[in-house]
Structure formats: structure tokens, C-alpha cells
Structure 1
Amino acid sequence: MLTARHLLVASLSLLATATTAQTQFAWVGTYNPNGEGLYRFSVDPQTGVLSNKTLVSTLPNAAQLTVSADGKTLYAASEVEKGVVQAWRINEKGELSELNQAASGGAGPVYLSLTPDGKHLLVANYVSGSIAVLPVKTDGSLGEASDTHQDDGPAGAAKPEGAVEGSFAISDHNGPHAHMIAADPSGKYVFSTDLGLDRVYQYRFDAASGTLTPNDPPFVAASSNGAGPRHFVFTPKGDGLWLINEEASTLTYYHLDTATGTLREGKTVSALPDGYKGTSFAAGLVLSQDGKQLYVANRLHNSIGHFTVTADGTLTHQQDIWTRGDYPRTLTLDAQGRWLYVMNQRSDNITRFSVSPNDGKLTFAEDYTAVGSPSQMVISSKP
């Protein structure tokens, strides 16, 4: 009788665990007109399959997303001239209730990130070349910007000198264009890239006031003229970051001095396979939780470049795999690191790859998810 009871308790426990594990949602931001706004999908954590596609908001060009660590609040930037950021509360069924909208602090917001403590939302505005800090209230809603900064300086080189032979990957080196902003894992420092000025800005962050102070020096130059710094990921220890250069299609490692919050340039390698010639635009990149596997999206070449990372930041090229789509804009790893999703903007689909637990290599899952002009996907668990 005791054994049967124990079996029943164990079975119920496993059922509860499985039910909780299955309650995951994928949020996909898109560009109009092919994409109609923000979509929600159910995620099967075992198979990685996306299902139950639902349009949950028609916010125009709701292309940039981030979600709170507790899975309760979702933020989306409307990538329009007068940029706005929308905040929603997520309930257990994945239904959204609107909290509020706030001005993005500039035009054309292209990146959102939360500080490690979740109390501030950082925004990069591409069109205006400005960045902003928005306070996050206790209910998850947004306050007016507590700080903004306007990038300023001479435009970067029109042609990327670090690109491969035959490249015409030239875009927007005509003035400031902020492309990403994020705090380091300690939350004491903030970095932002400016593609148009070929700079990586570095700030000290005051969490109490929500303000940024330019560090000394206030920025570091791109690793090559016209490289076009785009997105970056921090190492798990927070002592460095990998940055993808859009026009040059290169990866640059920067050492991060955790005492001063300043960057020192390290090695740069190509994000493209050896021998490739012609035009390609590097886009998103993701790093595995253990910091050992780095994946990069190459647009026009339409590939995922896979690299392994050593403790000193050295990269070893592992594979280049076709995305099975066109113009991969961003990549998303699930929380367990078992599945990698690709947002193929021009082919209007999301493709999925299994990640080998042994060496991080990718295998196409023979699965396509139709969605118009996908830009970014974030995954949240049941609140």
C-alpha cells in the first residue's frame, strides 16, 4: 500500500513537472506588411515545435522584443519614426493585457534589453542614432525616459575594408545609427553600438537614478573602417564580449575590464566560411549558456556560422549550415540550449535546428513555421 502511494505521488509529481515544462510561449515580432504585428506560439520543450500561431497585437512593425526574467512582462518596440515601446502583462494562458506605452526616446527603435535587476529598459533608436533608459515600475509598466544620449561624430567609412573580396555590403554610413544597447552582467556598465559612426560606446550606469555617464574613453572604434558594429553577447563571466560587424561580416572579441567597465579590442575573425567572395550582411548572434558555442547569422549567404569558444576568447570554426530560408535576421536559443530558431525575414518563415549536447553542432529539424517577415523571437515560461 505504501509503495502504491509512493508511486501515485511520484506519478502526480512527474505529471505536474511535465505540465509546467510544456507551458512555454514564443513571441515573434515582425515587419509589416507581410507580418501583421506580434505573434504568440506554444512551444513544446521536448520537440521544439512551434504551434498554435496567434496574432496578439497589431502594433506596427513590432519587430524588437524582450521579456522579463520571471516571464510576466513582455516589451515590444514599434520600429516607426516616432518610436514607442509597448508593455504587456502575460498571464498563465499566454494572454496579454496592456500595461502602457512609452516614447522610445528617439526614432526607429531597433533594440530592447533589460538591466540585470529588471528595473530599467534600455532602448537603441536606429533612425535618430540615440539611446534611452526607461524606468520599469513595480507592475512592469514603463516610466518616461530617465536618461537619453544622442550619438554624434563623423560618419564611418562608406566601404568596409575588412569585408571579403567582392563585397558591396554598404549601408547607412551617413551619420549616427544606434543598433544595440545592453548592460554587462554586473549591471554597472552599459554598452551601445553605432553602425553609422563605427563606434562602441561605453557608459557607467547609476541604477538608483537610471542615468548613464560616458566612461573614459567614451567609446572605442570599430575593429576596421566601415565594419558597422551591430550586436554583441557577453561571456558568462562578464569579462568580455563578442561583437558582430554587419558590413565587414566579422566577429571581434573585446576584453572587458570589470573594474573600470572599459573594452580592449582582441582578435577579429571572419563570420563567413573560408573562400567565400561577394556580399553578405552579418546579423544576429547567440552564445550558449556555458559560453562554449557561438552562432552567427549571415544574411545573403543565408547561413549559420558555428564556432566553439575557448576560455581566452579564441574561436574555432566548426560548421556553416544553410538556414533553409532567406535573410536570417536573428537567432534564438531555447532555455535548455536544445533548439536554435532562425528568423528568415525575406522567406517569411522560422526554421529550427537541434543542437548536439556533445559538440553544439546543428541539424535541421525538417520543420518550417510560416510567419511574415519575422524579426525577433523571445521565449517565456509560464509566469
Structure 2
Amino acid sequence: MPVTRNLLIASLAMVAGTAAAQQFAWVSTYNPNGEGVYRFQVDAKTGALSSKTLVNELPNAAQLTASKDGKTLYVASEAEKGVIAALRVEENGNLTELNQVSSGGAGPVYLSLTPDGRHLLVANYISGTIAILPVKEDGSLGEASDTRQDEGQPGAAKPEAAVEGSFAVSDHNGPHAHMIGTDPSGKFVFSTDLGLDRIYQYRLDNETGKLTPNDPPFITASSQGAGPRHFVFTPAGDGLWLINEESSTLTHYQLDTAKGTLTAGKTVSALPKGYKGTSFAAGLVLSHDGKQLYVANRLHNSIAHFTVSANGTLTHQDDIWTRGDYPRTLTLDSNGKYLYAMNQRSDNITRFSVAPQDGKLTFIEDYVAVGSPSQLIFTPAK
């Protein structure tokens, strides 16, 4: 009996520990409506966000990413003097700053980690530079091991592929790096420059953190003035989808996995058929199985839903109102059951359930109030 009783107590303790495990969501924001980085608790069953807590007050802390184990957050202050903070996530969800380093430029607008987590990649919009920052064993950051300055003639002022009546024109006045990331193998690095209408291609030496321009070192955008913004790789790592901000178009690129170079494929509109006027495409997210693609359209305030065929062909399925204004980014939860929209100008986050069969989105009547949300990420349960 005592042995059985002890086993029962141990089992109950394990169950209690599992039930108490809490997943966190982290939301970065813009000043003045947003005051920094907020932590939320996540309901595992409903995806609801609760217990909003301001945990870091870095100015314009609009960009962030996290280590795979969820133990370290990296936050960029999107200010002219770019700063990146490395923050340890404690068991209770509080943050302890490890250190701060320069972003290697001005106005950092995107952060990503290499697949092995050894380097942090930074795109600096204002200066048009990219940087590689080494990640130390304790999660803190070293000074940049490499920086690159985009150079060239600005792209066309007016996007030729935009819909009729569009005045979606911004920053074709010089280099403006907008995103940087590696392919799934971690061997190749790609960065977009909205101002120059280019996608840069590099090889990465993971030991030294140095970049070598590929051959060719860049390719031009799918159309003049398109404004290449963000991209997502296919699960197989043999291609990517890129959203063009000013033309509001999606372009599929095939990746030569041996050479690390991209070849442009088909381009389609991210806006509904028949739409006329101005809109700026923003974030995009691909489902974990690679079959559903979602795109945020700012001004039109919609999420465009596409299904992806085996050969990369897109089929437009729906346009869903975000129930907010100026959706900047979209985030899928770790199970792909819920999609979240960061509505920057309406100061809220909206949530949609994702149908497992066809990826259809259904709005959940639950608004989360947060000033000027920019990005949302999840870390594993603690």
C-alpha cells in the first residue's frame, strides 16, 4: 500500500506540474501608445491572451525574436541609434537583461537567428545595413562579426505592378534593408532592400560569422518599385514566398540548394480581385505544413488567404477583415490552431481560429488591447 500511495502522489505531482506549466506570448510595440515589450499568458485550449504585463521599456522596442529553447529574448530598439538587448527569461516570466550591443546600423527592423542559434541577424532600415551578431553561450551578444552596407541606385518611385489608383509610395530614396534570414540549412543568407528593389544573396561562414556575396550578389525585385519586404521559406527549404510592400504582390522564388541562389517564379496580387486604391502589404506567414499562406494587407485591413499546391501555385481562398486597422504582422501559434493579427493603428490584437482541413480563418470575439503592436512571438511553456 505505501508504495502504491507514493506512486499515486508522484503521479499527481507530475500532472499538477504539467498543468501549471505556462506558455508565454511576447508582444513588441511602438511608442508612445506602446511602452515596450509586454508578456501575456496563453490559454492552451483557446489561444486567449491574458495577464498583460509590461516587462521591458526599451524605446520603440518593436522587433524581437527568441532562442529555440525560449530562454533568451532578443529585442531591437527601432531608433536611429540601433540597439539590440539580450534578455534572459526567468521561470516566472520576468526578464533579466544580459547585455546591449549596437545593431550595426540605424533603425533595426528585423531580427532572426541562424538555425543553430549561434548568430543573430539584423536588418537596419534607416541606414540600409545588415549585421551578424555572435550569440555567446549564456545567450548574451557579441559585437557584430560582419556588417554590410547596401549600395546602388534607388528603385522606381511608383510601383508599376500596383493596382489602379494606388499611391503606395515610400522610401525609394536610397538603401533600406527590411528583412534578413537564412535558408533552413543555415548556409545561405538573404536580405531584402525596399529602397533599392533588391534581394541580396550571401554565403555564411558559421564559424566566423562572416558573409560572402553569392554569384550573383543580388537579384532585382519582381517589378519596378515593388518594394520587397518579408519572406518565408517552404518547409522543404527549396523556395520562398516574398511579399512586395508597395505593389502588394506575392512572388515565389525557387532556391538552388547547392548554390544558394534564387530564381523568380510567378507573381500574384495579395489584394482582392477588383480592389482599387492604396494599400501596403505587410507581414506574411506560412502554415507549418506549407499548405496555407496568409498575408496582411494594410489600409485594406485584411488577411489574404491562399492555398499552396505541391508545385508552388497559389490559389486565392478568401479575404478576412482583421477587425482592426493597419495589420503589421501575423503570427501562428505553435500548433497552427490560431492566427493573431497585430493591428498597429487600432491598438489591438485580434485572434482567428484556423480550420485544420482547409485553413479557413474564423474570427474569435476577443480583442486584446495593446498600444501600437508590432510583433508577437511565443516561447515554450515554463
Superimposed CA distance per residue, residues 271-318 of structure 1 (whole angstroms, 9 cap, x where no aligned partner): 011111110000000011111111000000000001111121111111
Q: Provide the aligned length of Structure 1 versus Structure 2.
A: 381
Secondary structure of 1:18's aligned partner: helix
Secondary structure of 2:339's aligned partner: strand
Give the match for residue 107 of structure 2.
108
Q: Which moved more, 1:8-17 or 1:67-76?
A: 8-17
Q: Distance in 1 between the 2:11 and 2:358 partners?
A: 34
Q: Distance in 2 between the 1:265 and 1:167 partners?
A: 24
- Cα displacement (A) at 1:17: 3.5
Q: What letter corresponds to residue 19 of structure 2 in structure 1?
A: A
Secondary structure of 2:335's aligned partner: coil
Q: What letter corresponds to residue 140 of structure 2 in structure 1?
A: S
Secondary structure of 1:255's aligned partner: strand
Q: What letter corresponds to residue 317 of structure 2 in structure 1?
A: Q
Answer yes or no: is 1:345 the counterpart of 2:341: no
Superimposed CA distance per residue, residues 128-179 of structure 1 (whole angstroms, 9 cap, x where no aligned partner): 0000000000000000000000000000000000111111000000000000
1:346-365, aligned counterparts within 5 Å?
Answer: 346-365=345-364
Give the match for residue 202 of structure 2.
203
Q: Is contact 1:80-1:107 (8 Å) kept?
A: yes
Give the match for residue 267 of structure 1.
266
Give the match for residue 286 of structure 2.
287
- Cα displacement (A) at 1:91: 1.2
Answer yes or no: is 1:19 the counterpart of 2:20: yes
Q: Distance in 1 between the 2:235 and 2:10 partners?
A: 38
Q: Distance in 2 between the 1:40 and 1:62 partners?
A: 13
Secondary structure of 1:116's aligned partner: coil
Superimposed CA distance per residue, residues 211-244 of structure 1 (whole angstroms, 9 cap, x where no aligned partner): 1100000001100000000000000111000000
Give the match for residue 333 of structure 2.
334
- Cα displacement (A) at 1:57: 1.2
Q: Distance in 1 between the 2:9 and 2:155 partners?
A: 67
Consecutive unaligned residues in structure 1, runs of 5 or more:
none
Give the match for residue 51 of structure 1.
50
- Cα displacement (A) at 1:19: 3.0
Q: Distance in 2 between the 1:304 and 1:348 partners?
A: 17
Q: Is contact 1:80-1:109 (8 Å) kept?
A: yes
Secondary structure of 1:66's aligned partner: strand
Q: Distance in 2 between the 1:296 and 1:8 partners?
A: 49
1:35-74, aligned counterparts within 5 Å?
Answer: 35-74=34-73
- Cα displacement (A) at 1:4: 9.3
Pair 153,40 (structure 1): closer, same or farther in 2 beyond 3 Å: same
Q: Distance in 1 between the 2:295 and 2:4 partners?
A: 51
1:230-269, aligned counterparts within 5 Å?
Answer: 230-269=229-268
Q: Distance in 2 between the 1:188 and 1:306 partners?
A: 31
Q: Is contact 1:280-1:299 (8 Å) kept?
A: yes
- Cα displacement (A) at 1:382: 3.1
Q: What letter corresponds to residue 284 of structure 1 in structure 2?
A: G
Q: Distance in 2 between the 1:5 and 1:46 partners?
A: 31
- Cα displacement (A) at 1:92: 1.4
Q: Distance in 2 between the 1:5 and 1:93 partners?
A: 29
Q: Is contact 1:189-1:202 (8 Å) kept?
A: yes
Secondary structure of 1:51's aligned partner: strand
TM-score (norm 2): 0.97
Superimposed CA distance per residue, residues 311-350 of structure 1 (whole angstroms, 9 cap, x where no aligned partner): 2111111110000000000001100001111100000000
Give the match for residue 215 of structure 1.
214
Q: Distance in 2 between the 1:100 and 1:242 partners?
A: 34
Q: Distance in 2 between the 1:315 and 1:138 partners?
A: 42
Q: Is contact 1:92-1:382 (8 Å) kept?
A: no
- Cα displacement (A) at 1:358: 1.0
Secondary structure of 1:264's aligned partner: strand
Answer yes or no: is 1:226 the counterpart of 2:225: yes
Give the match for residue 96 of structure 1.
95
Q: Distance in 2 between the 1:6 and 1:366 partners?
A: 43
Superimposed CA distance per residue, residues 170-227 of structure 1 (whole angstroms, 9 cap, x where no aligned partner): 0000000000000110000000000000000000000000011000000011000000
Q: Is contact 1:164-1:248 (8 Å) kept?
A: yes
State percent identity of aligned pairs.
76
- Cα displacement (A) at 1:258: 0.3
Give the match for residue 164 of structure 2.
165
Give the match for residue 143 of structure 1.
142
1:111-122, aligned counterparts within 5 Å?
Answer: 111-122=110-121
- Cα displacement (A) at 1:87: 0.5
Secondary structure of 2:362's aligned partner: strand
TM-score (norm 1): 0.97
Give the match for residue 193 of structure 2.
194
Aligned residues: CA RMSD:
1.5
Pair 274,3 (structure 1): closer, same or farther in 2 beyond 3 Å: farther
Answer yes or no: is 1:298 the counterpart of 2:285: no
- Cα displacement (A) at 1:10: 6.3
Pair 208,321 (structure 1): closer, same or farther in 2 beyond 3 Å: same
Q: What letter corresponds to residue 363 of structure 2 in structure 1?
A: F
- Cα displacement (A) at 1:58: 1.1
